[in-house]
Every structure is written in structure tokens, then in C-alpha cells.
């Protein structure tokens, strides 16, 4: 097998941060199976030297993938690739629409709407320059009055007008469609992690409770990214279902 040095290239002239370049390429190798589960990686100091990166930069890249559940640090073993995530196509609907379909009463508490500079991950997902202004929305979604999800959505500035009233009365995808945006495809990853103290408080869970996660980038019919979402769901109240085919 080719060494990592032969498979990962750092472009120092690119506006994409070095840590994110490295993390994205390593993530691709993991998700394609080039680095199978159980693969042990060199320590961060050695890898930083190998790729000509600073140790803080390499540490940030590795932590990014640990946070996404692709790598795990084990005492006495080092950093390893964890078991592959299950990646399946789910229906292209919003949580609001899912709840309505299941005859649950959806409601929304809009926690914040703000225009803010895009960090590296959001900029890469929306294909805008890092630091560009994007609209960021944080909402708490409830079903029959019970909190089930905390949702963070990011959209290119100027794409659609979002108000607290509109977001509290319906789903984001409904608002996009009403604005003439035709949603076509989405890339999404489902995983799990422990709740932070803030998430546990909002979701009425104990701190450290297991949450389901979904990261999704939605595209319009031209292939343009129109929304990047990062959501957490109560594992005790929510599950993802899918139909698979042998063909």
C-alpha cells in the first residue's frame, strides 16, 4: 500500500487551512477503505515532521477527525482508524416534514439567527471563501412538546430571507422551496457522540448521554450547495430508518 506521504498533498498556496486540507484527505482515505478500520497511524509529532506541518496544526487535524468519529486515541496503542461509518441514502426531507408525516406535532424554538464569517468546514461545504459571510441558524426542534433535536444550519448570505417567525412556523426546506429553490441532492453522514452540557440541557438529557448526529450538505438542481447542516438528535427518542436494495 502507498504511504500516506504518497496519497496526501498539502497545497500551501491554497486559501484552505493546512489542517483542514490534511484532515479532508485523510478522511477520504478512511471512507474509501484505503485506510481500513484498525489501521494505526504514526504519532502526531512524526506525522507533523513528515508533512512539514507544525505540531499544533497536525494536532488540530487529528482532533477534527476524532471529533467526527473517524479516529480514536487509545492509551498504549496510539491513534487508530475506527470501524467504518454506515453511509446510506435517506429521504430528502426535513425533520419538520418527517414529524408531520408521522402525525407528531412539530414545533420550533429559534435560538439564534446571525450573519457570521464561515469557518473552514462551513466554507468548504458551501464552496465559499473562508471568512465569507454566511447566515447561521440554531434551532431546538420539539415533537408534541418534547425536545428531540438541536439543529445548526448555515446558508450563503443573500440566498433567502429567514425570520424567527417563519422558522418557528415551518421547516427550513419548506422556506427554501417557497423561495423558488429546487432542492435536488444531499451528501450526509450519520454518527453518534456524547452530549455536551449545553446540548444535554436543551434536550432534557443527562450530560454525556448518547446523541445521534447528522451532517448534511444540500444542493439545488444546478449542483450549487445551498445549505450545510449539523444536527444532534436524542438517541432515546429518535432513529434513522432506511430502505436498502440488493441492486
For the chain, domain boundaries? 4-81, 95-234
* Topology agreement, domain 4-81 and domain 95-234: no
Task: Say which CATH architecture domain 4-81 belongs to.
Answer: Orthogonal Bundle (1.10)
The pLDDT value recorded for residue 88 is 37
- Using a cut of 0.85, tell me whether the model's pTM lies above it: no
Q: Find how far residue 34's CA is from the centre of its chain.
A: 22
What's the CATH class of domain 95-234?
alpha beta
**Per-position pLDDT tens, the chain of length 247:** 457 878 899 999 988 899 999 998 998 898 788 888 889 998 889 999 999 999 999 999 998 888 777 888 877 778 888 755 434 334 556 666 666 666 668 889 999 999 999 999 999 999 999 999 999 999 999 888 889 899 999 999 999 999 999 999 888 988 998 899 988 888 888 888 999 999 999 999 988 888 999 899 999 888 899 999 999 998 877 666 655 555 4
The pLDDT value recorded for residue 86 is 38
The pLDDT value recorded for residue 66 is 84
The pLDDT value recorded for residue 32 is 82
The pLDDT value recorded for residue 188 is 84
Amino acid at each position: 500500500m502507498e504511504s500516506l506521504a504518497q496519497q496526501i498533498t498539502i497545497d500551501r498556496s491554497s486559501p484552505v487551512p493546512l489542517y483542514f486540507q490534511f484532515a479532508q484527505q485523510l478522511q477520504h482515505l478512511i471512507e474509501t477503505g484505503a485506510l481500513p478500520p484498525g489501521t494505526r497511524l504514526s504519532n502526531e509529532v512524526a506525522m507533523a515532521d513528515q508533512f512539514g506541518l507544525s505540531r499544533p496544526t497536525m494536532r488540530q487535524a487529528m482532533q477534527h477527525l476524532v471529533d467526527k468519529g473517524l479516529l480514536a486515541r487509545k492509551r498504549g496503542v496510539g491513534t487508530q482508524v475506527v470501524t467504518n461509518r454506515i453511509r446510506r441514502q435517506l429521504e430528502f426531507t426535513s425533520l419538520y416534514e418527517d414529524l408531520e408525516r408521522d402525525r407528531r406535532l412539530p414545533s420550533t424554538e429559534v435560538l439564534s439567527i446571525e450573519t457570521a464569517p464561515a469557518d473552514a468546514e462551513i466554507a468548504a461545504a458551501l464552496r465559499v471563501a473562508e471568512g465569507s459571510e454566511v447566515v447561521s441558524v440554531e434551532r431546538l426542534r420539539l415533537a408534541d412538546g418534547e425536545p428531540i433535536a438541536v439543529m445548526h444550519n448555515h446558508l450563503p448570505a443573500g440566498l433567502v430571507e429567514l425570520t424567527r417567525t417563519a422558522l418557528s412556523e415551518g421547516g427550513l426546506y419548506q422556506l427554501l422551496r417557497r423561495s423558488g429553490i429546487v432542492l435536488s441532492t444531499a451528501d450526509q453522514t450519520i454518527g453518534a457522540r456524547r452530549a455536551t452540557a449545553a446540548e444535554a440541557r436543551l434536550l432534557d438529557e443527562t450530560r454525556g448521554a448518547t446523541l445521534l448526529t447528522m451532517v448534511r450538505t444540500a444542493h439545488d438542481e444546478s449542483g450549487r450547495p445551498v445549505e450545510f447542516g449539523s444536527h444532534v438528535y436524542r438517541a432515546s427518542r429518535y432513529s434513522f430508518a432506511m430502505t436498502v436494495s440488493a441492486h
